[in-house]
Structure 1
């Protein structure tokens, strides 16, 4: 249980959707009282996944794949998530390939616990060697021949054609066709031991930050850009438009159903245990 003196540790990625969502919270644009947050730690999502698995943060962004390993100690908040349609990871290569080719090939993934890695496993049951590397290296690794194919995320879906690559499979589209659900990419987890009252306050603060970002998009522009200096303005805008939507404010029944389906399929594939009896989502009765 958090006390009035407890300062909550916070982690999220430097990707435009996360910095857009959290700007108001971390800059004091919204009042988070009685909560107090430490200066945030910004790292790529796979680093966050591993640090949360080690129990480092009170509150953090994680991949939905990583969520399957975290539920004994963390709960998923209903605000701040990245879900949607037409926004999933892409399997790309420098030459035409089919899913049956993948069992003989080296495929780059943006981290062991990323949603991209799990989607690839669900899509291609017979998979050759996977090579984990930072997401920003994957396109160059495919182009150079270091790997035969790669699963790209974030802004890569807007820029892969500039690298001479072709999309072998939109894994998000495959998921949507397979299940009918939007693709659950990532979400915000918080330590269960904080207790229901504090957890609900954290969720409310993140929801308020999302609403402030959407209401005043220009206010976060400099903050977003300083963490995404390599990105062009139009790519940043497209990134935010794609990954920040009504699910970011509240998962709702359809968002929760998509995540439940995702976790159930991961369990069926032998990736992690069935969801804990403690539940996946924050409720007032936690």
Structure 2
């Protein structure tokens, strides 16, 4: 975990409010929250906010998505990323923001292996997954069901997301379920694509696959519009100042240069990230309903979203 406390003088601190924002240490999250950075980065550079953050100071908590999913059940962070899969378990604690989503529109998490095989052949094989509450695992279970399988038919095991590709390449697992930048770097290890879950979902459902969300704790519900505005302004700034934002994101890019990092950021920080829109909201509801109907997740009822307040001045 990396926890970086923004510096404020005593007088300012009396009028300001600290919000802890949890996100993954990967290029797309780093890119969109770069404008909120107020700490010394891994490159040794002192970063300060690029936008008006109202009366808020943001403390960045960098952890893998599985860890953030676990923390969200305790309501530990005021703002956090979590998997859409996780939402039914924390809907009483968090409201999703209308911005900050990661959507796979025809692409997404992948199952990879050293040798090609069909999904039905996963039966009895070992599969490394990046977390039990990741959307990748929820989508994988829905795909398995279409082939007459369940998670009990395979030997799955949680492995840290950035350790899955090398573990599969070394033969520790028959296959791996990969997320984040591994989706465009797995071929460096001569691994084969078994299925792209995002493509499968979009081709079969006609909707993007909603992967990750950002959310505000419900005890801050009255402040949610203003906080959401700051988050939206951060994403807008990052997109409008792409080169400097990608340069910052490179601090968290594994096995990627600037061009590849920019490609990955473009996959997951785009118009979907600015706002789910009607189609994105429909995708969230469809995925959660399928998961609930399949008995994989609880029914969370109606899904609500925090909308941004008018632009800050």
TM-score (norm 2): 0.84
1:73 paired residue number:
93
**1: distance between equivalents of 2:187 and 2:251?**
25
Q: What secondary structure, in the 3-state scheme, does the structure 2 residue paired with 1:7 have?
A: strand
Deviations 1:206-238 (A, max 9, x none): 111111111111222342122336432222111
Deviations 1:67-118 (A, max 9, x none): 2211111111001111131331111111121121112111111111111111
**1: distance between equivalents of 2:134 and 2:298?**
17
Pairwise CA RMSD of aligned residues? 1.8
**2: distance between equivalents of 1:13 and 1:143?**
24
Map 1:161-172 onto structure 2 (within 5 A): 161-172=187-198
1:38 Cα deviation (Å)?
3.6
Aligned length: 279
| Correspondent of 1:156 among 174, 182, 191 | 182
Deviations 1:219-268 (A, max 9, x none): 22342122336432222111111111101111111110111111111111
Aligned pair 1:104/2:124, yes or no? yes
| Correspondent of 1:23 among 31, 34, 40 | 34
Aligned pair 1:217/2:237, yes or no? no
**2: distance between equivalents of 1:141 and 1:51?**
26
Q: What secondary structure, in the 3-state scheme, does the structure 2 residue paired with 1:76 have?
A: strand
1:276 Cα deviation (Å)?
3.6
Map 1:170-249 onto structure 2 (within 5 A): 170-196=196-222, 198-228=223-253, 230-249=255-274
Q: What secondary structure, in the 3-state scheme, does the structure 1 residue paired with 2:18 have?
A: coil
Aligned pair 1:280/2:304, yes or no? yes
Map 1:52-71 onto structure 2 (within 5 A): 52-71=72-91
Deviations 1:177-229 (A, max 9, x none): 22110111101011111123x10111111111111111111222342122336
Q: What secondary structure, in the 3-state scheme, does the structure 2 residue paired with 1:124 have?
A: helix
Aligned pair 1:117/2:141, yes or no? no
**1: distance between equivalents of 2:285 and 2:267?**
22
Aligned pair 1:37/2:61, yes or no? no
TM-score (norm 1): 0.92
**Larger relative contact order (C-alpha < 8 A, sep ≥ 6)?**
1
**1: distance between equivalents of 2:172 and 2:263?**
29
Aligned pair 1:257/2:282, yes or no? yes
Aligned pair 1:89/2:109, yes or no? yes
| Correspondent of 1:10 among 18, 21, 29 | 21
**1: distance between equivalents of 2:307 and 2:274?**
15
**2: distance between equivalents of 1:136 and 1:180?**
30
Checking the alignment, whether the CA contact within 8 Å between 1:84 and 1:247 is kept in structure 2 is no
**2: distance between equivalents of 1:188 and 1:74?**
9
2:159 paired residue number:
133
**1: distance between equivalents of 2:249 and 2:167?**
27
Q: What secondary structure, in the 3-state scheme, does the structure 1 residue paired with 2:117 have?
A: coil
**2: distance between equivalents of 1:92 and 1:28?**
39
1:4 Cα deviation (Å)?
6.2
**Which of 1 and 2 has greater Rg?**
2
Checking the alignment, whether the CA contact within 8 Å between 1:68 and 1:273 is kept in structure 2 is yes
**2: distance between equivalents of 1:136 and 1:218?**
25
